[in-house]
């Protein structure tokens, strides 16, 4: 059974965000410089990736139905 690539990507992003938040809480401003711009960019990228994944999954499902048994 294969793991869903979206789950792997989401797990990676959550791990990265947790490590950045932990660095911010450490008190050293050099370690956790997570600015609002980077948060906004990450939200846009994740939203675009999920939309593309949903679009391609729909298209692949339609193409799979054309394959004869």
The token pair that represents 23 in the structure block: 């660095």
Question: Is the CB of residue 34 less than 8 Å from the CB of residue 24?
Answer: yes
Contact 49, 9 (CB under 8 A): yes
Residues whose CB falls within 8 Å of the CB of residue 18, separated by 6 or more in sequence, listed in order: none
pLDDT for 17 equals 85
pLDDT at 63 over 60: yes
pLDDT, residue 48, reads 96
Q: What is the domain partition of the chain in residue ranges?
A: 5-64
Q: What is the pLDDT of residues 40-56, one digit of tens each?
A: 899 999 999 999 998 99
Residue 1 and residue 34: Cα distance in Å, rounded?
36
- What pLDDT is stored for residue 29 in this prediction? 62
Model confidence over 5-17: pLDDT tens digits? 888 888 998 898 8
Per-residue pLDDT reduced to its tens digit, 17-40: 888 777 777 776 665 556 778 888
């Amino acid at each position: 059974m294969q793991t869903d690539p979206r789950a792997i990507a989401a797990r990676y992003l959550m791990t990265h965000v947790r490590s950045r938040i932990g660095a911010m809480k450490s008190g050293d401003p050099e370690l956790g410089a997570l600015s609002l711009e980077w948060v906004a960019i990450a939200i846009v990228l994740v939203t675009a990736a999920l939309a593309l994944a949903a679009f391609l999954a729909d298209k692949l499902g339609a193409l799979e139905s054309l394959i004869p048994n």
